[in-house]
Amino acid sequence: MKRWIAIALLVVAACGSDEADPPATEPEEVSFPSGFLWGSASAGFQVEKGLGNTDWGKWVKTPGKIKDGEDPDVGGADALAHIAEDVALLKASGQNSYRFSVEWARVYPTRAAFDADQPDAAAIAAYDELFAALRAAQITPFVTLQHFTLPDYFSDPSKPEEPQGWERPEIIDAFAAWCGRAAARWGGAVDWWATINEPMVAPVAGYIQGAFPPGLLLAVPRALLAGKNEARAHAKCYDAVKAADTIDADGDGKTSLVGIVQHQRAVEPEDPDYPDDVAAADRVRYVNNMWILNAVVRGDWDDDFDGNLDGPNDKKGDPALAGRSDYLGINYYSALWASVNGIQVPVINAGIKQDRLLNDRPKTDFHWDIYPEGFRIILDEVKGFGLPIVITENGIADSRDVNRARFLLEHLYELGKAQADGFDIRGYFYWSLLDNFEWASGYCPRFGLHTVDRATAARAARPSAQVYARVAASGKVTKKEIDALPPYVPPAPCD
């Protein structure tokens, strides 16, 4: 009802005016401040090899789970064997920061090793080499402590009937221990820590859609339990990193900044003229975009996910959770539609569609909408938390590199406008540095600024990498350079 009243008031106001307000003028140029983090991102399982001792390591060996049966150990980037090359790619494309994950299961390959705090020497040496190479190149590391994968001694998808991963109560303290040890080991090199990547995505994909381990369909109570434990684990991880990392790595007088990385979609009703779809979109937006941020920033614990704090297990301002993010890591790719039609996901009571949306927007090779205006929508949603923002992922599947330059500039233009409007945005990480293993989709969706030869692992820059380099060097994006680019072309399968 409030929505229709608001619309009516706007109509009355417009009719009562002598003339309509002129359209807002778009700036000819946007700029970014000195010290802005210009980077790209990766995740260990997607670019490293030898992580078979993870839930995903077992998942990819399960027939039918990965498109075309592809394997990250076959034809992948093998990043830890190509550290010098990848750091050189970062420098050549003008980047001053790199977001990557340090893999828990690589450092502690077995439960016995973890319990005894006996890290694998080869793993420590490999990550030490990466940190040293970044430091020598004056590239700021931005480290993720958990990017979807978990050690197989906590998460074994071959036993889906048993509690897995984030469902298990002991994993909260175990994850905090991992965070503290990583911070103690590498705190001298790191001032930016991300605890958990996209905490709402893994439960949805693993327990509702069946595309991630443990591969269940509509197991909503288990999905919600996993999400809740991720929020609690993040808070304990935050405290552990703060306790262990007291070193000012970059000499700016500040010690570690710790935050969570949240996947935000611009959530739209499938039919904006249908009130039930509008309400469904509001429910999806709350659970997907806001629930965990409310918990770890404000300490508002909505135990039943109903949007209110009046339940028997709800809490407002829980001191065990509140204030546990120094910044907000935001991943933005596209929009999704919510509807009361189709398969309904319990609790949110909505159906969700995020690819092949029936509208006029151009599409990526993943058939996601290219929607730079949605960037501002999701930024507006989180501005009220009052925290600095880092765009930890934003990118496009574009195997031919025909749309990436326009995508980059249009999204950075929207980001620059938000910066000019008072948003405290500290950095932008393009996803991804390299073509990589894109989870259940295998190698076909190609997001990289750089290609990877599947036979030799040789890297090569795409033309869009130099477009990014020019922006990083100038700190500016202009309407003129966007308008000079060719229009978007339809998506194509990987060649």
Q: pLDDT per residue over 52-80, tens digit each?
A: 999 999 999 999 999 999 999 999 999 99
243 pLDDT above the threshold of 70 = yes
What is the Cα–Cα distance from 59 to 57, expressed in whole angstroms? 6
Query: Is the bond preceding 432 in cis, omega lying within 30 degrees of 0?
Result: yes
Q: pTM of the entire structure? A: 0.94
What tokens does 434 get? 């390299």
**Radius of gyration for the alpha carbons in the chain, expressed in angstroms and rounded:** 22
Residues with Cβ within 8 Å of residue 182, at least 6 apart in sequence: 102, 107, 143, 145, 241
What is the Cα–Cα distance from 327 to 118, expressed in whole angstroms? 32
Q: pLDDT per residue over 171-223, tens digit each?
A: 999 999 999 999 999 999 999 999 999 999 999 999 999 999 999 999 999 99
The residue ranges of every structural domain in the chain are: 27-483
Say which residue the tokens 């991804």 belong to: 432
Residues with Cβ within 8 Å of residue 193, at least 6 apart in sequence: 143, 145, 179, 183, 241, 245, 256, 257, 258, 259
Q: Which fold has domain 27-483?
A: TIM Barrel (3.20.20)
What tokens does 431 get? 């996803």
Q: pLDDT per residue over 9-64, tens digit each?
A: 333 333 444 455 555 789 999 999 999 999 999 999 999 999 999 999 999 999 99
Kindly provide the b/e burial profile for residues 386-419, where b requires at least 16 CB atoms within 10 angstroms of the residue's own CB: ebbbbbbbbbbbbbebbbbbbbbbbbbbbbbbbb
